[in-house]
Structure 1
Amino acid sequence: MENLQVGAYGWQYASWVGAFYPEDIPKEWQLDFYSNAYRVLLVPESIWLQWSEGELEELLDSVEEDFSFFFEVDGSFSEPKRVQLNRVVEAFGGCVKGVVVISEQDEVAVEYCGLPVTLVSEKNTLPGWQWSHAGLTCSGAPCGVVFELTTQPKEQTALLKSFMQSLPDGVEGAAFFVHSQALDMAQLYNLKTIGEFLGY
């Protein structure tokens, strides 16, 4: 990625209707609406594991070609997860950019189904890039994940600066996700705006 891309964990929350989504928007249009405001999405494991072939086609039709999907893997990467993620990768093609593994297990591969892995862990790290915040370390493929988002602009600015300064030489941007089901979309918008103001 050439720039910092801020995104959310999931997109289907009742609390976003009226606050982010229009009150009368059909549920099947929500991803289309989300993708007009943000260019990256971290899909919860519980959601992508349930996708059918028909849903994959509908979801892909909801976004533009430059939209990027990342997929959460919670804990171990079991055979059913591998089979389903392969199915998703085949359907989505270039729109799939990475896997975010949230795990304290010792054995995490650097890629799953051909996708680069970012490990989020309290005690373990993958080789290469690392960035730590609030007791957690993101490592492996450059991708930021935080579980709480400060409401203070100065703290948001410091957060993004810390992340961007951690990126390897030659890497100009990466995805940055707020992993929270209670996410205030106004705060996420503020974070995105601050990133743009900083020139990221």
Structure 2
Amino acid sequence: MGAGLLVGAEGWEHPGWDGAFYPDDLPPEWRLTYYGNEFPLLLVPSAVWRAASRAQFADWREDVPERFRFVLDVTDADPGDQGILAQLRDCQSALGTTLAGAVCWSPPGPDGRRALRSVLGDARFLAEPVPLPGLPASVRVAEDGGVCCALVTDHTGQDLKWLRSVLEQLSGRLRDETVPMLFFSGRPPAIKQMGDATVLWQLLGGLQSQG
């Protein structure tokens, strides 16, 4: 199955996590650090990174371990807006190596792609949507070379069998060198399913190696 699966949530500020994931007595400013100690990856919603200051970007970087990676959702960002591109440059500069890349869940178009690439450079990925027949409508997939991003937008009422089916279909698309990233959204994202996905991926890899 190639590289290990990186799992993360869309955003880290979720009221539904208070007392369920985040301890009741955890100060709000410590939440990102707490999250970063539990998961290696975070999808930052467009509205969040577009509203943040350069100082906040720097705080984000200081709040997470070196292995941690941010991915920016640029789906709703207008690459023709120079203000947005300037904000993206500030974000990239402040986050440094903790910024793995960006994902666009709808096609950015040639001009949009060119503008976003000009800021992200060659060291960071810009994943774009790809069709993957057989996946549920609640799962989006985007790729860029050696990175495959998937977003579970609705996991309500889904069980381990459903999650295993999603992972099997994703793994069938991956090449050995591809880095798979799986994000969960929701109100709030399901912490248990995020953990289950990591375990299932490891088990599926073990089964394949025995096959």
Gaps of 5+ in 2: 207-211
Cα separation, 2, equivalents of 1:28 and 1:196: 33
TM-score (norm 2): 0.80
Alignment map for 1:54-65 (pairs within 5 Å): 54-65=55-66
Amino acid at match of 1:175: M
| Post-superposition CA distance 1:108-157 (Å, at most 9, x none) | 5275322321224xxxx5xxxx5453346523312112212263111111
More strand as a share of residues:
1
Cα separation, 1, equivalents of 2:106 and 2:177: 28
Q: Is the 8 A contact 2:9 2:184 kept in 1?
A: yes
Aligned partner of 2:136 in structure 1 is 134
Instruction: Please state if 1:147 is matched with 2:153.
Output: yes
| Post-superposition CA distance 1:35-74 (Å, at most 9, x none) | 1110000000111111112212211111111101000013
The total of aligned residue pairs comes to 191
Gaps of 5+ in 1: none
Cα separation, 2, equivalents of 1:50 and 1:162: 36
SS in 2 for 1:148: coil
Q: Is the 8 A contact 1:70 1:98 kept in 2?
A: yes
Aligned partner of 1:86 in structure 2 is 89
Cα separation, 1, equivalents of 2:38 and 2:48: 21
RMSD of aligned alpha carbons: 2.3
SS in 2 for 1:198: helix
Instruction: Please state if 1:175 is matched with 2:176.
Output: no
Instruction: Please state if 1:116 is matched with 2:125.
Output: yes
Q: Which has the larger radius of gyration?
A: 2
More helix as a share of residues:
2
Q: Percent identity?
A: 25
